[in-house]
Amino acid sequence: MNIQALLEQKDNKYDEYLLLQDHLYNKIPDNQRFDLIRQAVECGKKAAENIKTTSLWEYCRQEGITIDFFQEEMKVENFRFVLAEFQLPNHIRINQSLLQIAKPLLLTQDFLKNQQVSEILLAHELYHYLENQQQLFTVQKQLSYRTGPFKRRARLYSLSEIAAMNFAREYFGLSFSPVILNIFLIYPIAPEHAEYLVRQLLVID
């Protein structure tokens, strides 16, 4: 796994990668992509600046958010790994099994600088709580597009992911995109899939 190349990848490449994953990506006009990413990044950063607490766990407790560390059997066949998730209205789930399995690998990574990965995952999910609670840009923004004769409007969920990653990044002052952690967390279980993600992240131009 080429970690150095991942760390040297330009920040906006991770945001572009997330937008590319949107199932409506092809409906987004070319000339809007850059602006949508910029607005999502700003939205995430601003939400982080508004959090005046030294402990996100404590912040969640005060907000009445329940946090559940769940265990599950990890199999390489399961290509869809849930690292963590937010469930409306106020429930966050974090995959304890993935964290445990990835721990030895994460401990050898200097770029983390003792940053707790579980807390970065928590920050990401906390953003999803906040965007709903405060009806932020990433929830309100709707894309208008056509399918055949029909006009439709829909949310772009990738904008929420971009904002959530930038929220975590801003809150902790990280020098890397938390997107990288997804790769580290699944690598011990599904190395080939992790390598595939790395290749995808590195070919964006």
* Residues making contact with Zn ion (CB under 5 A): 161, 164
Residues near 87 by Cβ (< 8 Å), separated by ≥ 6? 93
Q: Which is nearer to Zn ion, 16 or 161 (CB)?
A: 161
Token pair in block for residue 186? 């699944």
User: Based on CB atoms, which residue is closest to Zn ion, 6 or 159?
Assistant: 159
CB of 128 to Zn ion, least distance (A): 6
* CB atoms inside a 10 Å sphere around CB 173: 8
Complex with Zn ion: residue 156 or 164, whichever CB lies closer: 164
Q: How far is the CB of 71 from Zn ion (least distance, A)?
A: 21
Cα 166 to Cα 46: distance, rounded to the nearest angstrom: 9
Smallest separation (angstroms) from Zn ion to the CB of 164 = 5
Q: Which is nearer to Zn ion, 179 or 198 (CB)?
A: 179
CA distance 83 to 13: 21
Q: Chain centroid to CA 147: how far? A: 29
CB of 85 vs Zn ion, minimal distance in Å: 7
Phi, psi values for residue 173, rounded to 5°: 60, 40
The residue at minimum Cβ distance from Zn ion is: 164
To Zn ion, the closest distance from the beta carbon of 28 in angstroms equals: 19
Beta pairing partners, 29: none
- 161 vs 170, beta carbon nearer Zn ion: 161
